[in-house]
């Protein structure tokens, strides 16, 4: 069993195991590829590595390297024992053995203080007053798993330390593994029992369900049981069950006090339970729904390819209540490419020109996106990467714009106005406003696959295929910006008053 099986939904583990040979998840393949590109970039910045190439004999070569005391072993594959399988990006030799260090493409620290860190090029753990640890359950379990494997192989350091290198690739964040081991052992035994079919599982709606291919099957089971987790997420459902509230109907009629260990206000949960019974997805937090409007409105949606670049900035312009349509700013040279600077500069000029025109005419202006993290990241990164090229704004200009009230995050506006039974994803929320995508397969991961064909990353496709996939991306991007515009229109119309209100 690999460390991956230790986190996430037990029921999924059972279903995945029973259905080995099911269609691979193409989104997973892309995430795995992105992670391996990132790991290779970290490896290339390290000196003095003994690299274990994957393939036949990797375990023997790893054990040879450890036995002769190699300082830093990259890609080591440890021998299978007690049903454990696994490899470590880095094994670092310390006084009496090795510590495992994993390289992951998510954040492992935040600005702050209190973490113990080590430089990348040598193992020297010390208190760090610039960052604090960001705990990640999957990373902890993987480090505990690798520690047990090193112990099984007779190469673990008695320090029982481990490390993780996060997406900034700046340092090793050091973790104490010893305190994690009892919990790891318990979980390992439980997951082995699930894999062996000796421990039963059942569906419970959790955050993971949103991206899980088993959701249709699990949803029908949960709906038949009218299970309370359908409206109360993983944070609240256990506390509700402990209070005897196991079905949506019980929650809808619950008149008691706030149950212990339920962090969401019981009035909100009760309103969502009633909405679920009525077939509604959104509940107004207050009778009056507010959203910022302007004389000149531009909806913006960016498409990027992994960490390589932002290849498309799509816009939808509406002036004085009249839709003027979709305008994309794209490069179809595979990113990374200098041509991205041209398309980004054209997009920025379009946005700033509409804003300047509005101000000159004494009109209000606003630009909208849906969940600004991605757009802000690439606005700033584009200003940095292409600084000095024609039409590229300074980082300061971008910072001023995204901090201004003229840059509006519709994701936040939806959260301020509504409770949602199905999360705040645009695909879940915009249909309530009557908006539907033309392409049923539209989605972030699908668009990455289309992009690979559209720009020729995937071989074996002709000009027609490439053109068709580019058109598909543009239609999807156009629908995304139209969706945020339609949502705003809905939120400021009388139609929104048909939605239930908390406390009704």
Written as six digits, the tokens of 330 are: 């794209």
Interacting residues toward ligand SF4 by CB under 6 A: 9, 11-12, 15, 203-204, 206, 208-209, 212, 214-215, 218
Whole-number Å distance between alpha carbons of 177 and 98? 13
CB burial of 180-206 (b: ≥16 within 10 Å; e: otherwise) equals beeebeebbeebbebbeeeeeeebbbb
Task: Give 82 or 137: the residue with its C-beta nearer to ligand SF4.
Answer: 137
Task: Give 7 or 337: the residue with its C-beta nearer to ligand SF4.
Answer: 7
Q: Where are the beta strands (DSSP E) in 23-130?
A: 50-51, 72-77, 87-94, 97-103, 109-111, 115-118, 126-128
Assess contact for 66 and 73: CB atoms under 8 A: yes
Nearest CA-CA partner of 165 in 144, 136, 126: 136
How remote is the C-alpha of 500 from its chain's centroid?
Answer: 30
How many other C-beta atoms lie within 10 A of the C-beta of residue 286? 11
In the complex, least distance from residue 210 CB atom to ligand SF4, rounded to whole angstroms: 8
Whole-number Å distance between alpha carbons of 133 and 257? 36
Task: Give 236 or 477: the residue with its C-beta nearer to ligand SF4.
Answer: 236
In the complex, least distance from residue 476 CB atom to ligand SF4, rounded to whole angstroms: 25
Task: Give 17 or 493: the residue with its C-beta nearer to ligand SF4.
Answer: 17
Nearest CA-CA partner of 240 in 224, 222, 212, 263: 263
In the complex, least distance from residue 195 CB atom to ligand SF4, rounded to whole angstroms: 15
Widest CA span of the chain, in angstroms? 76
Task: Give 11 or 155: the residue with its C-beta nearer to ligand SF4.
Answer: 11
Written as six digits, the tokens of 344 are: 């980004």
Written as six digits, the tokens of 240 are: 């509700």
Whole-number Å distance between alpha carbons of 296 and 408? 13
Rounded alpha-carbon distances, angstroms, from residue 343 to 391, 394, 475 = 10, 16, 18
Task: Give 248 or 473: the residue with its C-beta nearer to ligand SF4.
Answer: 248
Task: Give 220 or 497: the residue with its C-beta nearer to ligand SF4.
Answer: 220
Task: Give 185 or 202: the residue with its C-beta nearer to ligand SF4.
Answer: 202
- E strand or H helix at 410: helix 410-417
Whole-number Å distance between alpha carbons of 377 and 367? 16
Task: Give 17 or 394: the residue with its C-beta nearer to ligand SF4.
Answer: 17
Question: Which residues sit opposite 284 in a β-bridge?
Answer: 418, 501
Task: Give 12 or 136: the residue with its C-beta nearer to ligand SF4.
Answer: 12
Task: Give 14 or 291: the residue with its C-beta nearer to ligand SF4.
Answer: 14
Rounded alpha-carbon distances, angstroms, from residue 109 to 18, 162, 185, 321, 383 = 37, 15, 26, 45, 25
- E strand or H helix at 304: strand 296-305
Q: Which residue in this structure is represented by tokens 């069993």?
A: 1
Nearest CA-CA partner of 348 in 308, 300, 415: 300
Written as six digits, the tokens of 69 are: 């005391």
């Amino acid at each position: 069993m690999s460390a991956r099986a230790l986190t996430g939904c037990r029921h999924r583990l059972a279903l995945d195991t029973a259905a080995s040979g099911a269609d691979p998840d193409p989104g997973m393949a892309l995430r795995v590829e992105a992670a391996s590109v990132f790991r290779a970039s970290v490896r290339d910045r390290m000196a003095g590595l003994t690299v274990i190439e994957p393939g036949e004999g990797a375990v023997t070569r790893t054990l040879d390297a450890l036995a002769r005391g190699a300082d830093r072993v990259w890609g080591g594959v440890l021998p299978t024992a007690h049903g454990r399988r696994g490899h470590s990006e880095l094994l670092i030799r310390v006084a009496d053995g090795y510590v495992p260090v994993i390289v992951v493409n998510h954040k492992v620290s935040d600005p702050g203080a209190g973490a113990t860190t080590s430089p990348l090029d040598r193992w020297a753990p010390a208190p760090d007053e610039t960052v604090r640890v960001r705990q990640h359950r999957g990373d902890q379990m993987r480090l505990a798993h690798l520690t047990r494997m090193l112990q099984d192989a007779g190469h673990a350091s008695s320090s029982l330390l481990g490390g993780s290198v996060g997406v900034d690739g700046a340092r090793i964040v050091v973790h104490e593994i010893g305190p994690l081991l009892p919990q790891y052992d318990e979980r390992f035994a439980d997951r082995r029992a699930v894999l062996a079919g000796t421990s039963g599982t059942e569906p419970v709606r959790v955050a993971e369900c949103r991206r899980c291919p088993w959701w249709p099957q699990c949803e029908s089971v949960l709906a038949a049981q009218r299970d309370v987790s359908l409206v109360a997420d993983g944070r609240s459902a256990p506390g509700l069950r402990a209070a005897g509230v196991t079905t949506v109907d019980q929650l809808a009629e619950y008149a008691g006090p706030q149950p212990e260990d339920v962090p969401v206000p019981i009035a909100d949960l009760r309103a969502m339970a009633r909405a679920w019974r009525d077939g509604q997805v959104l509940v107004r937090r207050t009778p009056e729904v507010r959203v910022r409007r302007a004389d000149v409105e531009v909806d913006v949606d960016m498409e990027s390819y992994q960490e390589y670049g932002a290849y498309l900035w799509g816009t939808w312009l509406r002036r004085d209540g009249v839709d003027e349509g979709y305008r994309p700013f794209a490069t179809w040279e595979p990113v990374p490419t200098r041509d991205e600077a041209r398309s980004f500069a054209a997009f920025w000029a379009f946005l700033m020109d509409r804003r300047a025109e509005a101000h000159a005419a004494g009109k209000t202006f606003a630009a909208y996106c849906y969940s600004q993290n991605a757009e802000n990241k690439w606005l700033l990164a584009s200003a940095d990467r292409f600084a000095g090229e024609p039409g590229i704004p300074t980082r300061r200009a971008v910072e001023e714009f995204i901090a201004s009230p003229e840059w509006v995050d519709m994701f936040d506006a939806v959260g301020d106005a509504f409770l949602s039974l199905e999360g705040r994803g645009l695909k879940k929320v915009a249909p309530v406003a009557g908006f539907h995508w033309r392409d049923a397969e539209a989605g972030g991961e699908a668009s990455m696959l289309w992009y690979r064909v559209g720009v020729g990353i995937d071989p074996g496709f002709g000009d027609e295929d490439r053109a068709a996939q580019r058109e598909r991306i543009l239609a999807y991007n156009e629908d995304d910006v139209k969706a945020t515009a339609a949502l705003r229109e809905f939120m400021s119309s009388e139609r929104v008053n048909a939605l239930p209100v908390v406390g009704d």
